[in-house]
Structure formats: structure tokens, C-alpha cells
């Protein structure tokens, strides 16, 4: 009895059933580059898992050891600088591509019935991605890691009702202390990645069940087949994308490798405390008004984003502004870009 039969007897899965599972026809517009943006954060997330595990072999999450362990990774461990730089650049690109993917879904109206729930899954993915970024930067134990975490915890404390609890839970005490780093680490390296894996699995399962939204573009002839095969055609596109990203990440890691800032000093508040670029709009917004007003308005905006598919359905059914979402979207993007640039150029 051959090895193939031996396996077949124990795992009776036929080539036919695998083909059926993987070979879903996908609409032609998925050949356009902005429709493959969803696969990009998924790919970058895998890069994060692999490089994150390698970094975890060396990283020591305590105030006395964290900075030194990262210095060791960057300056002494073999290819440590490369793995760390890949991790840092893939994080940046992941945030950027999640935002671009969300914009493509928004501006093509692909969140509309029956995909409202998947949009909400997407919002949870966006929040988890940003939180991964925030917790990650805090691990380095540089000045900005320390003060960024302190400012972040103070912002959390402004949430009405549960603010103080959130701050204490995050810091493991009233202020940043020797227990804080392990909290950030367990969130960054265990809790959030597991949450992300579950959310991505749910997101993709829903896409498989519902199929992606079908669009007909004017430059596509009507008589041509409207779909192509997921396997191997679409998988090839995604693999090409993966290869391109790997080259891009390597180039970025080589020309702008992750470096070391000044070690955290709890006694010296830096003159300028700025978060990573993807928190610029929120940070500037928070500076524009009093703490509680800023938190409540931010919470309201996030809530509105969550339920947007239902608000949009209401606008479309009750008013004649069928394309209101496009104008609201353009306005929102402009405001976000303006707040980002403002925060980037403002000295304080
Ligand atoms: C880690 C983050 C994410 C991953 C890995 C991901 C992955 C994907 C993939 C692979 C697709 C298939 C079509 C495409 O590639 O465009 C897709 C579609 C979709 N995504 Fe995401 N996504 C993420 C975040 C988000 C966010 C932040 C939102 C919105 C808030 C969102 C909402 C949707 C919706 C509604 C669809 C269906 C689109 C359609 O039917 O055409 N996703 N996502």
C-alpha cells in the first residue's frame, strides 16, 4: 500500500474537494490593483508574526532590560537589525494598507447590504491594528515609548465612567512602573495577535460566504466572462504582491533601518511628545479641545464609523442624496490629511 493510500485512509480528503474549496470564481475587477489591497495587510500580518517571534527570542520586557535587549538585537545579534527593521516597516505599511483598503471598500460602497457586519469586523481590525502599533512602540523603552505610553494612559483615563480603571489596568498601577512593560508586552505579543487572527478568519469567512461585491466597469466588454479562477490565477496575483512587498520591505529596512532613540528617563519630560504618524489626526484633535470633550467626540466618531452602513442606508432610502457617502468620505479624508499635516509641522 502506497503512502498516498495510507494518508487517504486516515484523512479521506479528495483532490476534488480541495479544488472545490479553493477554486471559487472571483469577479474580474479583482485584477485591478486597488481591489487586492485587502490581501496586503493579511500578508504583512504574517510577516509580523514571523519577525515578531524572532524578536521575542531576545526581547526582555522590564524597564532595566528592555532597552538593552533591543540594542543587542539592533547592534549585535546576527541579522537582528534586519528582522527588527522588517517588523517596524511592515507595521507602518500594514497600517497604511488597512487604511487604503478601508477607503477602497468605502468609496466603492462595498460595505452596503449584506456586508454591514463585515464592515464592523473591519472596524475591529482597524482598531486592533492601531492598538498593536501603539503597544509595539511602547516596548522599545525609549523616551518616546515611555512618555507616549504615559500620555496614552492619561488619555484613556478621560473616558467617562471607566477611564480610571482603564488607566490602572494598562499601567498596572497609578503611574508607569516596573509592571507596566509586561502588560504592554502581553497585549502586543499575545492578546492582540490572537484577536487579529480570529477577526481576520471571521472577515475572510464572511467574504467567502457572501462573495465580493460585483462591479461592472465601463472598459470591460459585456460579453467577456465576468469571473476568473481563485486558484491559481488570483493566488498568483497575491503571490506577486507578496514578492513585491518583501522586496519593498527589504529596501526600506536597508535604506532606513530601525534605530535607537534615547533611553527612557522618567525624570525628564521630552520637550515634544509626538505619537506615531497614524495617531497624528487623533492627537491633534485631542489638542483642539478640552480632554473630556475630545474623548467623547472621538468616541462618537468611531461609533459613527462602526454603524456607517446603516446610517448610509437611511440617508439613501429617506433622502434624494444617494451619493452623499462619496462627499462625506472626501470631506473626512481631507480633514484627516489636514490634521495629520498640522500635527506633523506644528512644533507642539
Ligand atoms: C487586517 C486588516 C484587514 C484584512 C487582512 C482584510 C482583508 C480583506 C480581504 C482579503 C478582502 C477581499 C477583497 C479585497 O481584497 O479587497 C476584504 C474585503 C472586505 N473588507 Fe477587509 N480587511 C481588513 C480590514 C478591513 C477594514 C478596516 C474594513 C472596514 C472598516 C474592511 C471591510 C471589508 C469589506 C466590507 C469587504 C468586502 C468588500 C467587497 O465585497 O468588495 N476590511 N478584506
Ligand 1 mean position, distance from CA 129 (Å): 13
Q: How confident is the model at residue 292 (pLDDT cuts 50, 70, 90)?
A: confident
Q: Is ligand 1 within 6 A of the CB of residue 121?
A: no
Q: How many residues does the chain have?
A: 348
Which atom from ligand 1 is nearest to the alpha carbon of 123?
30
Ligand 1 mean position, distance from CA 102 (Å): 7
Ligand 1 mean position, distance from CA 38 (Å): 5
* Contact present, 193 and 44 (Cβ < 8 Å): no
d(CA 340, CA 256): 22
Minimal CA–CA distance to 279: which of 149, 165, 111? 149
Return the best residue to mutate from 26, 43, 101, 124 for the ligand 1 pocket (most ligand atoms within 8 A of CB): 101
Q: How confident is the model at residue 1 (pLDDT cuts 50, 70, 90)?
A: low
Return the best residue to mutate from 26, 43, 202, 203 for the ligand 1 pocket (most ligand atoms within 8 A of CB): 203
Q: Is ligand 1 within 6 A of the CB of residue 309?
A: no
d(CA 334, CA 296): 22
Ligand 1 mean position, distance from CA 100 (Å): 10
Ligand 1 mean position, distance from CA 124 (Å): 11
What's the pLDDT score for residue 22? 75
* Contact present, 15 and 44 (Cβ < 8 Å): no
Q: Is ligand 1 within 6 A of the CB of residue 213?
A: yes
**Chain-centroid distance, C-alpha 291:** 26
Q: Is ligand 1 within 6 A of the CB of residue 308?
A: no
Bond into 287 cis (ω within 30): no
Give the pLDDT confidence of 115-146 residue by residue, as tens digits: 999 999 999 999 999 999 999 999 999 999 99
- In this structure, the residue with its CA closest to atom 5 of ligand 1 is 42
Give the residue, 213 or 19, on which the prediction is more confident. Answer: 213
**pLDDT above 90 for 246:** yes
Which grid cell is 148?
507616549
d(CA 101, CA 214): 16
Q: Is ligand 1 within 6 A of the CB of residue 143?
A: no
Q: How confident is the model at residue 210 (pLDDT cuts 50, 70, 90)?
A: very high
- In this structure, the residue with its CA closest to atom 13 of ligand 1 is 38
DSSP designation for 220: S
Domains defined for the chain, CATH in brackets: 27-212+225-269 (1.20.810.10), 274-348 (1.10.287.980)
Give how far Cα 52 sits from Cα of 5, 47, 62, 167, 285, Å. 39, 8, 17, 26, 32
Burial (CB count within 10 angstroms: exposed 0-12, middle 13-18, buried 19+), residue 145: buried
What's the pLDDT score for residue 214? 83
Amino acid at each position: 500500500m502506497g503512502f498516498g493510500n495510507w494518508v487517504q485512509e486516515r484523512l479521506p480528503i479528495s483532490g476534488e474537494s480541495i479544488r472545490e474549496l479553493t477554486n471559487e470564481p472571483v469577479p474580474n475587477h479583482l485584477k485591478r490593483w486597488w481591489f487586492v489591497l485587502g490581501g496586503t495587510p493579511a500578508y504583512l500580518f504574517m510577516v509580523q508574526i514571523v519577525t515578531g517571534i524572532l524578536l521575542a527570542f531576545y526581547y526582555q520586557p522590564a524597564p532595566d532590560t528592555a532597552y538593552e535587549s533591543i540594542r543587542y538585537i539592533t547592534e549585535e545579534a546576527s541579522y537582528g537589525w534586519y528582522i527588527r527593521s522588517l517588523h517596524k516597516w511592515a507595521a507602518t505599511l500594514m497600517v497604511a494598507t488597512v487604511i487604503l483598503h478601508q477607503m477602497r471598500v468605502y468609496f466603492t460602497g462595498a460595505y452596503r447590504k449584506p456586508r454591514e457586519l463585515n464592515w464592523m469586523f473591519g472596524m475591529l481590525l482597524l482598531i486592533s491594528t492601531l492598538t498593536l502599533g501603539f503597544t509595539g512602540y511602547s516596548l522599545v523603552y525609549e523616551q518616546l515609548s515611555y512618555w507616549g505610553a504615559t500620555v496614552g494612559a492619561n488619555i484613556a483615563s478621560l473616558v467617562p465612567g471607566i477611564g480610571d480603571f482603564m488607566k490602572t489596568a494598562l499601567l498596572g498601577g497609578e503611574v508607569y512602573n516596573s509592571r507596566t512593560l509586561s502588560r504592554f508586552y502581553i497585549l502586543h505579543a499575545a492578546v492582540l495577535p490572537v484577536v487579529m487572527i480570529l477577526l481576520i478568519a471571521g472577515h475572510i469567512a464572511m467574504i467567502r460566504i457572501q462573495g465580493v461585491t460585483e462591479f461592472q466597469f465601463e472598459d470591460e466588454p459585456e460579453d467577456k466572462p465576468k469571473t476568473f479562477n481563485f486558484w491559481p490565477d488570483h493566488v498568483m496575483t497575491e503571490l506577486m504582491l507578496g514578492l513585491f512587498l518583501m522586496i519593498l520591505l527589504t529596501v526600506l529596512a536597508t535604506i532606513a533601518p530601525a534605530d535607537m532613540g534615547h533611553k527612557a528617563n522618567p525624570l525628564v519630560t521630552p520637550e515634544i511628545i509626538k505619537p506615531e504618524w497614524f495617531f497624528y489626526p487623533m492627537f491633534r484633535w485631542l489638542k483642539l479641545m478640552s480632554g473630556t470633550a475630545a474623548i467623547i467626540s472621538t468616541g462618537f466618531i468611531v461609533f459613527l464609523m462602526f454603524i456607517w452602513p446603516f446610517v448610509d442606508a437611511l440617508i439613501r432610502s429617506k433622502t434624494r442624496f444617494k451619493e452623499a457617502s462619496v462627499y462625506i468620505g472626501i470631506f473626512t479624508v481631507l480633514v484627516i490629511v489636514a490634521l495629520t499635516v498640522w500635527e506633523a509641522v506644528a512644533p507642539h
